[in-house]
Amino acid sequence: MEHFELSQQESGLHIEGFPDAVKVIAIEGPRSKRLADLALHRDDLEFADSCLDTINLSPEEPFVIREALWRSAIVHFMKCFGDSKARFQLSSEKILKGVPPEASMAFEYFKHLRNKHFVHDENSYAQSLPGAILNNETKSYKIEKIVCFAAIARTLAQENFGNLKLLIQKSRSWVIAEFDQLCNTLTAELEREPYESLLKKESLTFRAPTNDEIHKNRNAS
């Protein structure tokens, strides 16, 4: 998987680095949909990996910077394994097949960390304990103040960092291998078509999303 410079022209998207090209044609069908999904997974995994790398470049204080990067890395990693209907989701069983069981245990840890702590507040990693401060009876009132003790578990530790890094790299390698294999399959299929037929295909175009699409599924008609 490679990255290319793009520009928008009247005829469609122009990809830099191909001087002999005459057109970028759009490809459709189940295989092209899977290819597009793999590319989005790669972007999420690369973003998660970049978040981890940036943690090492960030100062200890303010605390919020490193914590925000840590949470973002976990959320974007687990985004690839969720239940989205807009794109196919990665399978941890396939990606972690043949690796030590500790890898699957680490994956489950991050899944629950994302689902039950960072995104939804359900487990004991966040606790809030209300209490009342009782005085020594030397005043006309008994309660000095109502307080609430909040405790949030710290999960950014070296072991967790290393486990997430390895899971991201393993997943990214799997995605890239699947993407490259699918590109080869699609290339072979297109090569069998007459040139005139390929030239008549629609150009690849991009339309920026609008505000009224924020609530809609990407693949909805």
Give the tens place of pLDDT for each residue, 77-120: 999 998 888 899 999 999 999 999 999 999 999 999 999 999 99
Of 172, 219, 200, 188, the closest CA to residue 49 belongs to 172
What is the band of 193 on the pLDDT scale with cuts at 50, 70, 90? very high
Q: What is the pLDDT of residue 14?
A: 65
- The crossing angle, in degrees rounded to 10, of helices 101-113 and 158-191 is 100
Better-predicted residue by pLDDT, 121 or 21: 121
Cα torsion for 2, 165, 77, 102, to the nearest 10°? 130
Average pLDDT over residues 52-60: 96
Handedness of CA 75, 79, 85, 86 (dihedral sign): positive
For β-strands 143-152 and 126-134, DSSP reports them as antiparallel
Average pLDDT over residues 111-136: 96
Which residue, chain included where needed, has tokens 């809609």? 216
Residue type, 121: D
Average pLDDT over residues 54-60: 95
Q: Give the separation between CA 39 and CA 87, rounded to whole angstroms.
A: 11
Is 3's pLDDT higher than 70?
no
Q: Which residues contact 16 (CB under 8 A, 6 or more apart)?
A: 4, 5, 6, 7
Pair 111, 102: CB distance under 8 Å: no
Is 221's pLDDT higher than 50?
no
The neighbouring-strand residues paired with 57 are: none
Q: What is the pLDDT of residue 7?
A: 66
Backbone angles phi, psi at 15, to 5 degrees: -105, 125
Q: Give the separation between CA 18 and CA 10, rounded to whole angstroms.
A: 18
Q: What is the pLDDT of residue 215?
A: 86
pTM for the whole structure: 0.88
Average pLDDT over residues 154-179: 97
Query: Domain coordinates of the chain in residue numbers?
Result: 6-122+159-213
Average pLDDT over residues 117-133: 96
Q: Give the separation between CA 62 and CA 37, rounded to whole angstroms.
A: 36
Q: What is the pLDDT of residue 220?
A: 58
Average pLDDT over residues 119-131: 96
Pair 115, 129: CB distance under 8 Å: no
Q: What is the pLDDT of residue 203?
A: 82
- The crossing angle, in degrees rounded to 10, of helices 101-113 and 63-79 is 110
Look over the chain and give the mean of its residue pLDDT values, rounded to a whole number. Answer: 91
- The crossing angle, in degrees rounded to 10, of helices 63-79 and 158-191 is 40
Pair 68, 147: CB distance under 8 Å: no
Is 213's pLDDT higher than 80?
yes
Better-predicted residue by pLDDT, 23 or 63: 63
Q: Give the separation between CA 144 and CA 111, rounded to whole angstroms.
A: 42
